[in-house]
Structure formats: C-alpha cells, structure tokens
Amino acid sequence: MLTRRELMAAGAVVPAAVSAAVSKERPELSLPDKAAFFASGLTYLDSGSQHPISLAGRRAADAYFSRRMLDPHAAAFKLDADGLRRKFATLINAQGDEIAFVQSTTAGEQLVLRSLGFPEDGGHIVTDTLHFFGSMPIYEELAKRGVEVTWIRDRQGRIEPAAYKKAMRPGTRLIALSHVSTYNGFEHDLKAICDLAHDNGTLVYADMVHAAGCIPVDVKAAGVDFAACATYKWLMGDFGLGFLYARADRLPMLKRPVAGYYGLSTFQTHVYPLDPAGTRVADYAFAPTAMGMFAQGTHSHTVIAQLHHSLDYIRSLGVADIQRHAQGLTDQLKAELPKRGYTLLTPREAKTPLVTFQQRDANTVLGPLLDAARVKITLSANRGRVSPSVFNDAADIDRLLSVLPRASG
C-alpha cells in the first residue's frame, strides 16, 4: 500500500500512477480477485445494484481530494477528463469524440429523445417491458404528449428480434431498449435488432448499464446509434457520472437538446474590459462531437479521478474473462435455485452476471434471513436478483444457497 506522500510523488497524472502501482504490486491478476476490494465480512452478491469501489479506486479518489484540499504534495495532480472518455470509448469500440459525459443512464436517454425532437415532432417509438423500469414513465409521458409508443411484452423472459420487426412500420422513428435487462439479465441480439431497424429507416437507443464492463460490447459491430450507461455498476465507479455514446454520423441529424459551456469549441466575449469589439455579447461555436451536442454543466471530478483506475483495472482483467468468471457462478445458481423450488426468471442461456428468481413477498420472506446471515442481494416485492462480480467465488454462492429457504410462492 502506498502512503499518501508516496502516492502524490508517483507521477504527473495520479490516477495513472495508482494503476501502475497496483499493477506492480500485483503483476498477475486472476479471478476471483478478493484482494482488490475491502474485506467487509459481508457476502456481497449485489454488484448489479451498486458495485463496490476497489481499494486502489479509493486511493485514486483520495489523491483527487488531496489536491482539492490544496495539499502541496498533490500539486502534480492533473484531472484527465478527455482521457477518461477515450478509455471508455476503447472499452466499447467507439471513438473518443462519440462519447459525452452525462449524469446518469436515464439522463442520457432523455437527451437522446430530446435531440430527436420527442415529443414535439411526434412519431412512433417501439420499446419493450424488459427495458429499465425507470424508463417506463418516460415513454408513458411521451405517449400522453402525442407520441405513439408500442410496448413489446416478453415471452418467458425473452424478446426475439422478430417481435421488433413485427412492431415496426414505415415511419417508426426509434427503438429504445436495454441491451441487458436489469429485471432478469436477458441480453438482446443488438446487432440483429439494429439491422432490422436500419432497414426500416429506424434508429436504435440502447441502455448499456448492465453490459459495459461485464460483457463484451462493440457498438460498431452492433451498429447501435445511441447508448448510455452510468458508472456505479459494472464500471466500478460512483454516482453522478455516466457516458452517452452517439454515432458520429448521426450527430448532424440531431437537434441540440442543451446549450452547455462544456460543449463549446470556441468562445469569445465582447462585454468585459479589453475584449475585442463585437455585435453580440459573445461569439461561440459548438464542437462537432458528442460533447458538443450533449454536454451541459460541470461533471463529477471525483468519479473521473476514481474511474481512471477502474477502467484500467477492467481492461487488465479483460471483459471476456470477467464474463466467463461470472458465468461460472450464475450457472451454479441456475442449477441449484430450481432444486429449492424457485422459478428462474432469467433465461438459462443468458451469459450476463444477473440471475433473477421469483419469490412472493421476497422482502418480507427473505430479507430478515439474509440480513442476519450478512448476505446481500437485490430484493424486490416478489423476486430476488443475484449479481456476482470479480471478487465473488463459489463459496459465496454456497453461502447464499445455505441461507435461502425453500421457495414459498
């Protein structure tokens, strides 16, 4: 472990110094990687809700706070926001200029809708009931304002691309979906849907919050037009910062939804002493990039500092290996939960790190048992969801299974 003073002296860009130091201390990372996270004594199987921040991620955030405290030993700290956008772009096979900072996944989704002229311009949107439940009010409100919204319902926890083909018609403007469903971990065939949509002249937005960082994502191969995700789940970041992807060739067709200072490429005032003369209070231009289209105000510098390490860590492990590790644990759950009488709501073939099962009054029936055993999963009114990550192992799954009673409904 580095001391604070050693950390501040490690290099000009402290987040990079933290990652390099971790790599040097632990040159051969392997899964499960319990050593990278705080040993709390809690069997934590809820990373799909909030992923724990790693020890080195905490040190990266501490380095930023030292600079904010005016610690002279932190004078070399530089916040590399553009570099972080490039790192995320690499993770999903995009270009840095196609990525904008947003507050959250939902904020990104609503910016896309506004840039496409919804609800004022009207039109037809197709979405589905495996999309994020928090997005349901968005589309219900659009429907109240004259937008025609078609909802596709799942069949046994799945939605085939053919259902989207059937729901579309000439003039359908947008498909909005979750690449991976927060409800049950179902993964859409994103490329198939994008191909069908584009053949119809329809654009596609994907919520990637349960995809980026835990399963391989290639936005270019899929052909998706827009996508967004927060960072506090599988990117191992924190609240208040997310990413919005917009294909470069789609930007010219959009209406600017906001006029944010952080999207400017040039700016010259004409109102202050010694300013050059001008006919307006200021001359400015927006960058022809995703930031130029969608950037608003200040974004979370703390998360940027911390996330530099997290994205480096994810890259060092390899997303395919992260997925493979989690799948071994979810396969264990899919085999054992039905033996205890639980109905799986997650398709058995799903390769995502989420397993949802049915249990009537889950909060009441399972909550006290899990709390007493110090086991954490997601509990909803009538279901439970288990989401293991890089620090979990088979013993954690066994621990959960030993606590769960037989299903009662």
Residue 75's pLDDT is what? 81
3-state secondary structure of 70: coil
What are the structure tokens assigned to 295, written together? 């950037």
Q: How buried is 304 (Cβ within 10 angstroms: 0-12 exposed, 13-18 middle, 19+ buried)? A: buried
Residue 152's pLDDT is what? 98
Q: List all residues 6 or more positions away from 318 whose beta carbon is below 8 Å from its beta carbon.
A: none
Q: Distance (Å, rounded) from C-alpha 82 to C-alpha 167?
A: 39
Q: Which of 187, 242, 241 is nearest to 210 (CA)?
A: 187
Chain centroid offset of residue 408 CA:
34
- Going by the DSSP 8-state scheme, the letter that residue 77 receives in this structure is -
What are the structure tokens assigned to 131, written together? 């999309």
Q: Distance (Å, rounded) from C-alpha 115 to C-alpha 128?
A: 21
Q: Distance (Å, rounded) from C-alpha 43 to C-alpha 63?
A: 29
Residue 28's pLDDT is what? 63
What are the structure tokens assigned to 184, written together? 């049950």
**CA atoms 219, 304, 132, 49: torsion sign:** positive
254 in Cβ contact with 269 (< 8 Å): no
346 in Cβ contact with 355 (< 8 Å): yes
126 in Cβ contact with 150 (< 8 Å): yes
What are the structure tokens assigned to 359, written together? 């249990």
Q: What is the pLDDT along the chain (409 residues), one digit of tens a residue?
A: 344 444 443 333 444 444 444 444 555 678 999 999 999 999 999 999 999 999 999 999 999 999 999 999 888 899 999 999 999 999 999 999 999 999 999 999 999 999 999 999 999 999 999 999 999 999 999 999 999 999 999 999 999 999 999 999 999 999 999 999 999 999 999 999 999 999 999 999 999 999 999 999 999 999 999 999 999 999 999 999 999 999 999 999 999 999 999 999 999 999 999 999 999 999 999 999 999 999 999 999 999 999 999 999 999 999 999 999 999 999 999 999 999 999 999 999 999 999 999 999 999 999 999 999 999 999 999 999 999 999 999 999 999 999 999 998 7
Residue 76's pLDDT is what? 86
Strands 203-207 and 172-178, how do they pair? parallel
